[in-house]
Amino acid sequence: MTIALTGIIALNQGCTTKKEEKTEEKTQKSLSLIVVEPGHFHAALVQKSMYADVNPLVHVYASEGPDVKAYLDKVEKYNTRAEDPTKWEEKVYTGPDFLEKMLSEKKGNVVVLAGNNQKKTDFIKKSVDAGLNVFADKPMAIDAAGFDLLKEAFTSAEKNKVLLYDIMTERYEITNTLQRELAELSDIFGALQKGTPSDPAVAKESVHHFFKYVSGEPLVRPTWFFDVNQQGEGMVDVTTHLVDLVQWSCFPNITLDYQKDVKLLSTKRSATKMTPSQFKLVTKSNSYPDFLKKDVKDSILNVFSNGEINYTLKGVHAKVSVLWNFQAPEGTGDTHYSIMKGSKANLIVRQGKEQKYKPVLYIESVSKDKGYEEAVTKSFKAVQDKFPGIELKKNEKGWEVSIPAKYDTGHESHFAQVANKYMEYLKAGKLPEWEVPNMISKYYITTQALKQAKGGK
């Protein structure tokens, strides 16, 4: 099925039974998506699947240009793929007043935001003020001023009884999920250690690449993606996932107070350098736009996409760091490293050459207890009951957690998993009590870390 850009009007013309059935099907769905200024490919990934309660008719509001076209092209590919095609119909409005038009028409009840981060927090606030639910890609705020506006947005969302939620896909990556599960088993993990600034109890490192393939095709990034004023620095962008995983894994279902539980220790930032030919390869643009000239020296573009944050959360020392390279060597890709240190074992996710660049979870024993191995085997059964097929494979340091391929569904599939979880919350009319305060804590950490790294108090 092709995407209907103008043909939606045809639903009101003619009265065949098929059209009536189709219209009835749409009106029965409780959720309708409004996609606003979809400048990031994550907007399309939300629509890689269909959802039981979501109207297939999607209203799109955007400024005219390549960003909205790239989004529509991706959705069109999902609609026309051979296996399990989607059935989205896109009704598109483009114009400089796209936001005002969306807010006045309110053609749906869930706003999807994934694009230029410079205005995203403002779009979030205006959407919840208008009584619309918001499902937003990270980051929801990229600086201290944005954090203050985001706090106001959460207050407004509560007042207007709508749900504001960010798309934390990394919770659904199986090794992250299992690391959290195992950390809750005291017979295996023991107690979470406090660590020190030089030897944190929790560390998460992420390596990403500007040039990559998405849905089997080379990703073309918008030029603004490389402007930290529009995309945000690495410290407030990808790091959002890492800070979220620290909170979600170390303090599951516990409400955090950023004013009491968070203490920033040290931060640092650095730039990834990009040549004009690399910039052209990833953007299809022949030259740097004017807004990037400030970051160009001797024709090399400096993108402040790398960052490190050292902090404590409820007294536990944590470190998160992100690094962007231009392109991964062939056969490799984005990588993730994570360690949680317990009194009985360290839980470690590695994704290097030895792991064939696939994340692998290890239990590395630090326990001297003679009965520890037996206790691990016995306790692990609780995890196997939740995730049938996973096994323990003994090695010299402890165990590798052997995970069946069916659980490795890939990054793109996690968007549907997050969306389905969000829809559960929409049905219930509320988020878990800890989610909003913990989102606020997360964006406090990232935005204040950036402020500190740039020399602010």
Q: Which residue, chain included where needed, has tokens 């064939």?
A: 356
- What's the confidence (pLDDT) of residue 7? 35
Do the Cβ atoms of 230 and 415 come closer than 8 Å?
Answer: no
Ranges of the chain with pLDDT below 50: 1-25
d(CA 35, CA 92): 9
Q: Note the pLDDT tens digit of each residue in 81-137.
A: 999 999 999 999 999 999 999 999 999 999 999 999 999 999 999 999 999 999 999
**pLDDT at residue 6, as a whole number:** 36
What pLDDT score does 266 carry?
97
| pLDDT given for residue 52 in this prediction | 94
Distances (CA, A) of 4 to 50, 53, 79, 228, 323: 16, 21, 11, 35, 40
363 close to 347: Cβ distance less than 8 angstroms: yes
Rounded Cα distance between 228 and 38, Å, is: 18
Residues in the chain: 457
Distances (CA, A) of 20 to 15, 16, 17, 31, 33: 7, 6, 5, 19, 21
| pLDDT value for 218 | 84
Six-digit token pair at 16? 């065949």
For residue 20, the model assigns a pLDDT of 47
- Residue 26 has a pLDDT of 53
Question: What are 266's two structure tokens?
Answer: 């040290």
> Would you state the pLDDT for residue 342?
98
What domains are defined for the chain?
7-167 (3.40.50.720), 170-453 (3.30.360.10)
Can you give the three-state secondary structure of the chain, one letter per residue? Answer: CCCCCCHHHHHHCCCCHHHHHHHHHHHHCCECEEEECCCCCHHHHCCCCCCCCECCEEEEEECCCHHHHHHHHHHHHHHHCCCCCCCCEEEEEECCCHHHHHHHHCCCCEEEECCCCCCHHHHHHHHHHCCCEEEECCCCCCCHHHHHHHHHHHHHHHHCCCCEEECCHHHHCHHHHHHHHHHCCHHHHCCECCECCCCECEEEEEEEEEECEECCEECCCCHHHHCHHHHCCHHHCCHHHHHHHHHHHHCCCCCCCHHHHEEEEEEEEEEEEECHHHHHHHHCCCCCCHHHHHHEECCEEEEEEEEEEEEEECCEEEEEEEEEEEECCCCCCCEEEEEEEECCEEEEEECCHHHCCCCEEEEEECCCCCCHHHHHHHHHHHHHHHCCCCEEEEECCEEEEECCHHHCCCHHHHHHHHHHHHHHHHHHCCCCCCHHHHHHHHHHHHHHHHHHHCCCC
Angle (CA) 439 235 347, round 5°: 70
**Phi-psi region at 167: left, alpha or beta (left = phi > 0; alpha = psi -120 to 50):** beta
